[in-house]
Structure 1
Amino acid sequence: MNRVLGSWWWSCGGLLLAAALGQAAEGSGRRMADLFPDEVLVKADGFEIRRSQLDEAVAIYKADAAARGQTLPERSQAEIETNVLDRLTLNQVLLRRATDEDKAKAKDAAEKALADARRQARSEEGFRRQLLARGLKPDQFEARVLEQATTDKVLEREIRSKLEVTAEQVKDFYEQGIDPLTREAQATADKLAQTAPDSTAHLEAKRRVEDRKRINQASMVRAERVRGSHILLYIVDRVTREDLPPELRAAKRKAMEKALGRLKAGEDFAKVAREVSEDPDVQETGGEYTWARDANIVPEFKAALFTLPLHQLSDIIMSPFAYHIVRLDEYTPAGKPPLAEIEQDIKEFLLNQEVQLRLPAYLEEAKKEFGIRYLTAGTGKNK
């Protein structure tokens, strides 16, 4: 399912990595405070949030949205800061409400997430280089992942586990693009239809409803995709990305020619892939993957993927970083998949939205428990 449908990063569990990043900025904030005052924005029983943490989290929020191709709504800086400050505060509340069971589950989830990140980086050195590019050390990143996992588990226990999405709600989303936010917007439009039917506000409310339905419908449309089997041998250093010496590249070419010969002779593709390919996941996948037309794939490889006849082997393909052999196993045209294929994704999306809608009330209740006080009006908050 389209990532637009699955995205709830800032509203729930994912908000918390940015919140953790903001928390981790506290050390640098203290160093900056030696030169400039680091204003306390929120004070509560057991924690406080400073200006440096808010600035860091706002920067991450904007960068994350840009990286995902999202255009942020036209908002004032004060409004953005108000929303992010609430989320930083919520993060602190969730961490303090974590039970021993939450923490144990979070530890398991964080270890899995870190293992996945290291595997995708292809080497420990590559993993460290990726973190360094983001200004992080491994221990900092590990602490932040654990914090995010912890807050996710608290949200799961205290809010998400108490919610339910019905089959009718899934059907409404699939057929009409109706979700909880759409229903809220529709309620507003219906009220205005009774009190001010000819008003600009009523027309705007109706437009928001239709826009949301349209966006939701578009989020379910899959790009053209193929399933194929793939072998690759790198012609660049996997850490530095520098070209390998000519003699090593020539050896890789000969190895690919031998592998292609074995495949043409009828050997099992997965067997050859596991013996030859430098794909870090090949032992698990056997070289089999699914690629979408709109995926970020090197042009040389994408051209072969989407032009090969079914079940046919490619010749050796050379991209800027590797030699490839691919076989096309299945082709799926662009379009909206059957409900059965994306039903679980829709349920997850609707559940996440329901959680999002309950977060403001959850935070208001927590303000009483933790004695949370906003100490400045500079972020749009009352003192």
Structure 2
Amino acid sequence: MKNIKRLVAAAFITVFAFSTAGCNMIEKTPEAIANSTVATVNGEKITRGDLDKDPNTIQLLSQAKQQYGSDYAKNDEATSAIKTQKEQILDNMITTKVIEQKAKELKLLPDESKLKSDMDKKIDDIKKQNFKGDTSQFDAALKAQGFTEESFKTMFLAQLKTQAIETNISNYLAKSVKVTDKQIKDYYNANKDKYTEQPDKMHLAHILVKTKDEAQKVKARLDKGEDFAKVAKEVSQDTATKDKGGDLGFVNYNDSGYDAQFMAGAKALKEGAISDPVQSSFGYHIIKCIKKQEYPVKDFNKVKDDIKKQLESDQKSKLVSQKVQEWKKAASITKKEKNIM
């Protein structure tokens, strides 16, 4: 199924639904559709209009139109994908509503007039930095994304409000976050490769196959002395590297672009060593560490404050996530999914 990206926009989508009463077809008005309830959160409604004006919904439909044409609503594949995405968008709206209600209860709502002032300034900055202050170019760019300036401002203001609420709640909950010296030292000792004078790196090559049995056969060939690059060119299923003999070049120890299991297996190798089969989300790898470049670890006292900030941030994020789930679980939430489409 072709992917329909979720983007950021805001507008109103007019959709007609039909119901039968006896032998008569009754067409719902756009107003009736917009006012129909798709969910309630502690008695507060989220309407179809709210869902359709959500920026994610608008750009979802804009992408659908580009991908499937203006009659995308008649395409089963498109409507199925749209329904799934709209359900996810609605879940996010419900979560946002729960957070906003809690912020109101805790008196943590941001000042609306300040938000509007911040929004106007940010939009002016966007116009100056990206469009040299030319409003017509800015409007044209918005139109290409399915925006008007009014709908863009509605979206932008809602985003700023959500961000401000999340920040206020995070700071409120942070009062209970405490990081001890022992936690900082333990983290330092367990993650010294994050605090080297320069990033540690290793020159790697690998051979990727589907099964463990295939990987074991590859390892047996290498143990008998076959050339790693030659075997990689013959059997590796990584099309990006097989023609280069599996060569990945230098990879930083903390490169998050690689599978965690692959990286753990690679870092465990000594220079010149070849691994046993290492399973990742892509299959099974035989990894060769061609060279390592490791640097001295910074003194603990030089990085202590940075580690403390990192641990505090991690704890705050975890605490906020836990609290939001608690609040959502305690909330009275009903959904009327028949009204989504």
Do both share a fold (TM > 0.5)?
Answer: no
> What is the TM-score of this pair, normalised by structure 2?
0.41
Structure number having the greater strand percentage: 2
Larger Rg: 2
TM-score normalised by L of structure 1: 0.37
